[in-house]
């Protein structure tokens, strides 16, 4: 940190907020550096005193949680119209936020962390990080439909083509899908375009982290070995 880092990145590393959230705090005049009001683009250097709403902040040990998000829970920091968000389900002493979304109707693995760099790396679609899902359909797909989706399909609604993906039929109406991108409601949109309805959708793996034996609403801290593997795949150093 010899030449310093951007203030929003420092605040994210302290678990105060995401980088975007930190930018908002700075713009609202709620952040100070060495007694003066901070400005967007300010640089933090070792030894500076940073305060948010009059309280000092400092870096925290990096933590990653594997959380089983139940269906019906919204992945959002705040939403006045939501009955329940993931924040209502997590009782953890360190502020964490999500690294990649999972839509309200879906369930399964969600990674939560206080490391803004990890969030940025995981959410960057060009990195091609794998995410694995179990998908329950309203009817059995034939081989022609599966092959079509495997090769990538053009989503008219979004005017873009999905990347090739892996699809394996597990049962008559159940398939396993492995994607390397995170388009909003991608799996539901892909199957809907072919005349199918997704009845249930569960994410069971993100990169090297699996859902394991977690039950809906439960979470667990990643082990040192799991953290090392995740950071290595994300192209980061711990």
DSSP for 74-137?
A: B--S--TT-S-BHHHH---SS--EESS---TT-EEEEEEES-HHHHHHHH-GGG---EEEEEEE
* Structure letter (DSSP) for residue 203: E
Query: Across-strand partners of 179?
Result: 131
Within this chain, do residues 70 and 105 fall inside the same structural domain, yes or no?
yes
Task: Provide, rounded to the nearest whole percent, the portion of the chain with pLDDT above 70.
Answer: 95
Q: Is 103 a catalytic residue?
A: yes
Within this chain, do residues 99 and 39 fall inside the same structural domain, yes or no?
no
How confident is the model over 133-140, as a mean pLDDT?
98
- pLDDT (0 to 100) of residue 208: 95
Within this chain, do residues 49 and 71 fall inside the same structural domain, yes or no?
no
Please tell me the total count of domains within the chain: 3
Within this chain, do residues 11 and 71 fall inside the same structural domain, yes or no?
no
- pLDDT (0 to 100) of residue 128: 83
- The pLDDT-based confidence of 147 (bands split at 50, 70, 90) is very high
| pLDDT for residue 82 is more than 60 | no
How confident is the model over 154-178, as a mean pLDDT?
95
- pLDDT (0 to 100) of residue 203: 98
Q: Are the beta carbons of 107 and 217 closer than 8 angstroms?
A: no
Catalytic residue (one of 34, 103, 115, 228)? 103
Within this chain, do residues 44 and 70 fall inside the same structural domain, yes or no?
no
Please tell me the distance from the alpha carbon of residue 235 to that of residue 158, in angstroms, as a whole number: 30
Within this chain, do residues 213 and 119 fall inside the same structural domain, yes or no?
yes
Within this chain, do residues 27 and 77 fall inside the same structural domain, yes or no?
no
- The pLDDT-based confidence of 125 (bands split at 50, 70, 90) is low
Enter the pTM of the model: 0.79
Please tell me the distance from the alpha carbon of residue 166 to that of residue 64, in angstroms, as a whole number: 27
CATH number of the domain encompassing residue 221 = 3.30.70.580
- The pLDDT-based confidence of 83 (bands split at 50, 70, 90) is low
Within this chain, do residues 71 and 180 fall inside the same structural domain, yes or no?
no
CATH number of the domain encompassing residue 183 = 3.30.70.1560
Task: Provide, rounded to the nearest whole percent, the portion of the chain with pLDDT above 90.
Answer: 66
Within this chain, do residues 102 and 162 fall inside the same structural domain, yes or no?
no
| pLDDT for residue 126 is more than 80 | no
Q: What is the 3-state secondary structure (H, E, C) of 20-71?
A: HHHHHHHHCCCEEECCEECCCCCEECCCCCEEECCEECCCCCCCEEEEEECC
Within this chain, do residues 118 and 214 fall inside the same structural domain, yes or no?
yes
Please tell me the distance from the alpha carbon of residue 89 to that of residue 217, in angstroms, as a whole number: 7
Query: Across-strand partners of 219?
Result: 67
Q: Are the beta carbons of 105 and 200 closer than 8 angstroms?
A: no
Enclosing domain of residue 117: 64-125+208-234
Question: Over the stretch 198-223, which tens digit does the pLDDT of each residue have?
Answer: 999 999 999 999 999 999 999 999 99
Tell me the chain's radius of gyration from C-alpha atoms: 20
Backbone angles phi, psi at 27, to 5 degrees: -60, -30
- pLDDT (0 to 100) of residue 78: 61
- pLDDT (0 to 100) of residue 25: 95
Question: Over the stretch 2-54, which tens digit does the pLDDT of each residue have?
Answer: 578 999 988 887 878 878 889 999 999 999 999 999 999 999 998 899 999 99
How confident is the model over 135-153, as a mean pLDDT?
97
How confident is the model over 121-149, as a mean pLDDT?
91
Q: Are the beta carbons of 66 and 212 closer than 8 angstroms?
A: yes
CA distances from 169 to 117, 166, 194 (A): 36, 10, 16
How confident is the model over 168-185, as a mean pLDDT?
95
- pLDDT (0 to 100) of residue 217: 93
Within this chain, do residues 178 and 141 fall inside the same structural domain, yes or no?
yes
Question: Over the stretch 55-74, which tens digit does the pLDDT of each residue have?
Answer: 998 877 889 999 999 999 88
CATH number of the domain encompassing residue 26 = 3.10.290.10
């Amino acid at each position: 940190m010899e030449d310093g880092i951007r203030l929003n990145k420092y605040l994210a590393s302290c678990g105060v907020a995401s980088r975007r959230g930190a930018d908002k705090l700075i713009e609202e005049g709620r952040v100070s550096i060495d007694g003066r009001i901070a400005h967007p683009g300010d640089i933090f250097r070792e030894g500076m005193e940073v305060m948010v709403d009059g309280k000092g902040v400092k870096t925290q040990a990096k933590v990653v949680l594997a959380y089983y998000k139940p269906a019906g829970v919204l992945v959002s920091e705040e939403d006045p119209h939501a009955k329940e968000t993931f924040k209502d389900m997590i009782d953890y002493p360190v502020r964490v936020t999500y690294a990649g979304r999972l839509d309200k109707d879906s369930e399964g693995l969600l990674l939560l962390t206080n490391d803004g760099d990890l969030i940025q790396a995981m959410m960057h679609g060009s990195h091609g990080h794998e995410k694995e899902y179990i998908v329950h359909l309203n009817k059995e797909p034939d081989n022609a439909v599966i092959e079509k989706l495997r090769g990538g399909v053009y989503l008219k609604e979004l005017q873009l083509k999905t990347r090739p993906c892996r699809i394996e039929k597990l049962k008559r109406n159940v398939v396993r899908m492995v994607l390397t991108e995170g388009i909003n409601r991608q799996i539901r949109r892909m199957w809907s375009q072919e005349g199918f309805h997704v009845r249930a959708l569960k994410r069971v793996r993100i990169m090297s982290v699996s859902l394991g034996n977690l039950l809906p609403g439960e979470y667990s801290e990643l082990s040192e070995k799991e953290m090392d593997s995740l950071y290595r795949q994300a192209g980061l150093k711990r």
